[in-house]
């Protein structure tokens, strides 16, 4: 039985390793983290990340061939293959602050592997990193004349939160990048063998390490670009009276464009899109490609614009004053089916509304505890599990996250308890706007005509 170790028990490390353990009973999989609280949660029924279907997979494998521990060095000593799944946030200090990736956690991990290894190890770079990081990690691992050999392979992760188990179970592709010959090729093949337990051969793409690293940044940049593109059109729709959903349907029917990722909304959130694009921008700038950098940076600027635009629309609907008015926020997670609030558009929008001295009540089925952390120090914000209670005496409601349960609320009941005239902003276009209008709401969809009483 070979030993797989994963360093970093976060949104990627935990679910990915649970899936490998479930599909590969011939491997022992250990996930380690320095965060003891997180490891305790992985060892309980209250997992640190909410993902539909994850608990079932974890429970089926835990303590059989899936283990969660804080013993990083012991894990390294026993490992044949190590996945590095640590965080690679945007640098907040020094050169490249606000743009470049902070690779300190990757580097620390590489040094620890070099010091504690007890055999030759394949080191799998799963964290999202700038191009050439595998080379840097390789240099750290081979410095100081170590006793053992290390082969670095890039294997970026493409799962999306909320659908992680589905994505891992049936990935569009698995990407493995490494050196094409000798021990490099052997390491790529060894990793491919693990995925081949459940992924068909044609979906396992083997390439060189640098292309693999850059494919991950490029994929996220293209996806985010689609969101910014459709959001830019939503602004034009509001100015012209066209309907962004009709446009998305029409262009999405073109098989060259495709229907996915054309939903206008409050902008992309999540821990990665913004950080990975800024990382790409920084890379371009470091190579003197200013025009390329500017091109990609515009995707992030458009995202900020969309959020500011929504705040302006809200203000305008309220006669430019919301001081003292109660605002019900439906959803705080950056998308449905996750408790993750990192970079959620709701953060920016709520902060701007709080600056205008609105009284804000936030509802979310899974993200209240994270929302509280995001909004530490922000005044006039309260939280509620119950949207009906939260709606009492509100002047307006803003749907921020497309949770299924918010589509089925009793909006008549909500309207009755709100102040008149009651307005509702549907930033995700998931509610029945005609129905809401007929109930008596002023309805503000995104990228289409408002319905005003």
Active site residues: 272
210 is a contact residue toward ligand UGA (CB under 6 A): no
Nearer to ligand UGA, 227 or 418 (CB): 227
| Segment lying near ligand NAD (by CB under 6 A), choices 27-35, 140-148, 225-233, 441-449 | 27-35
CA distance 381 to 326: 10
Q: Which has the closest alpha carbon to 234: 303, 288, 283?
A: 303
Nearer to ligand UGA, 61 or 127 (CB): 127
Q: Residue 341 is encoded by which pair of tokens?
A: 């609030």
In the three-class reduction of DSSP (H, G, I as helix; E, B as strand; rest coil), residue 7 is classed as strand
Q: What are phi and psi of 428, to 5 degrees?
A: -115, 0
CA distance 116 to 74: 8
CB of 1 to ligand UGA, least distance (A): 29
263 is a contact residue toward ligand UGA (CB under 6 A): yes
CA distance 207 to 195: 15
Task: Write out the H or E segment, with its range, that includes residue 350.
Answer: helix 345-355
User: Of ligand NAD, ligand UGA, none, which one does residue 262 interact with (CB within 5 to 8 Å by kind)?
Assistant: ligand UGA
CA distance 59 to 199: 22
CA distance 218 to 295: 13
Nearer to ligand UGA, 34 or 160 (CB): 160
Q: Is residue 6 a contact partner of residue 42, using CB atoms and an 8 Å limit?
A: no
Nearer to ligand UGA, 161 or 359 (CB): 161
DSSP secondary structure letter of residue 202: G
Q: How many CB atoms lie within 10 A of CB 239?
A: 8
User: Of ligand NAD, ligand UGA, none, which one does residue 51 interact with (CB within 5 to 8 Å by kind)?
Assistant: none
265 is a contact residue toward ligand UGA (CB under 6 A): yes
CA distance 193 to 4: 13
DSSP secondary structure letter of residue 110: H
Q: Is residue 221 a contact partner of residue 296, using CB atoms and an 8 Å limit?
A: yes
Of residues 411 through 450, those in contact with ligand UGA by CB under 6 A are none
List the one residue from 4, 5, 11, 47 that touches ligand NAD (CB under 6 A).
11
Cis peptide before 421 (omega within 30 of 0): yes
List the one residue from 22, 87, 212, 318 that touches ligand NAD (CB under 6 A).
87
CB of 166 to ligand NAD, least distance (A): 13
List the one residue from 77, 107, 158, 243 that touches ligand UGA (CB under 6 A).
158
Nearer to ligand UGA, 174 or 418 (CB): 174
Binding mask 109-148 for ligand NAD (x = CB under 6 A): x-----------------xx--------------------
What is the binding site for ligand UGA (CB under 6 A)?
A: 128, 157-161, 220, 223, 227, 261-263, 265, 268-270, 272-273, 334-335
The residues binding ligand NAD (CB under 6 A) are 7-13, 32-35, 38, 72, 85-88, 105, 108-109, 127-128, 157, 159, 161, 271-272
């Amino acid at each position: 039985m070979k030993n797989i170790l994963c360093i970093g028990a976060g949104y990627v490390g935990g679910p990915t390793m649970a899936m490998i353990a479930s599909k590969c009973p011939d491997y022992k999989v250990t996930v380690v983290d320095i965060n003891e609280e997180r490891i305790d949660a992985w060892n309980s029924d209250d997992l640190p990340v909410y993902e539909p279907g994850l608990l079932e997979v974890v429970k089926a494998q835990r303590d059989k061939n899936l283990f969660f521990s804080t013993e990083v060095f012991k894990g390294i000593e026993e490992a044949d293959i190590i996945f590095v799944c640590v965080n690679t946030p945007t640098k907040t200090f020094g050169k490249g602050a606000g743009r470049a990736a902070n690779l300190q956690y990757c580097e620390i991990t590489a040094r620890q592997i070099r010091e504690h290894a007890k055999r030759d190890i394949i080191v799998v770079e799963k964290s999202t990193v700038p191009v050439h990081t595998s080379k840097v990690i390789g240099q750290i691992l081979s410095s100081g004349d170590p006793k053992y050999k290390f082969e670095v392979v890039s294997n970026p992760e493409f799962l999306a939160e909320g659908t992680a188990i589905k994505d891992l179970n049936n990935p569009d592709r698995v990407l493995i990048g490494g050196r094409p010959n000798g021990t490099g090729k052997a390491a790529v093949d060894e990793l491919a063998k693990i995925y081949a337990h459940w992924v068909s051969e044609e979906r396992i793409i083997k390439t060189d390490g640098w292309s693999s690293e850059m494919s991950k940044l490029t994929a996220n940049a293209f996806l985010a670009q689609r969101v910014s593109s459709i959001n830019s059109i939503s602004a034009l729709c509001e100015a012209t009276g066209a309907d962004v959903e009709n446009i998305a349907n029409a262009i999405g029917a073109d098989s060259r464009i495709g229907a996915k990722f054309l939903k206008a909304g409050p902008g992309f959130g999540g821990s990665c899109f913004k950080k990975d694009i800024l990382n790409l921008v920084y890379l371009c700038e470091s190579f003197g490609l200013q025009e390329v950098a500017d091109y990609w940076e515009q995707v992030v600027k458009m995202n900020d614009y969309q959020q500011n635009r929504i705040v302006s629309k809200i203000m305008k609907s309220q006669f430019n004053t919301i001081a003292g008015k109660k605002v019900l926020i439906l959803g705080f997670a950056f998308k449905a089916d996750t408790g993750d609030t990192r970079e959620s558009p709701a953060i920016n929008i709520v902060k701007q509304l709080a600056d205008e001295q609105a009284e804000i009540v936030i509802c979310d089925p899974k993200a209240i505890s994270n929302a509280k952390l995001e909004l530490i120090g922000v005044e006039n914000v309260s939280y509620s599990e119950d949207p009906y209670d939260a709606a009492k005496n509100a002047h307006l409601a803003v749907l921020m996250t497309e949770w299924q349960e918010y589509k089925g609320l009793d909006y008549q009941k909500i309207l009755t308890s709100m102040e008149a005239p009651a307005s509702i902003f549907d930033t995700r276009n998931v509610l029945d706007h005609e129905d809401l209008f007929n109930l008596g709401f002023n309805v503000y969809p995104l990228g289409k005509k408002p319905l005003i009483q």
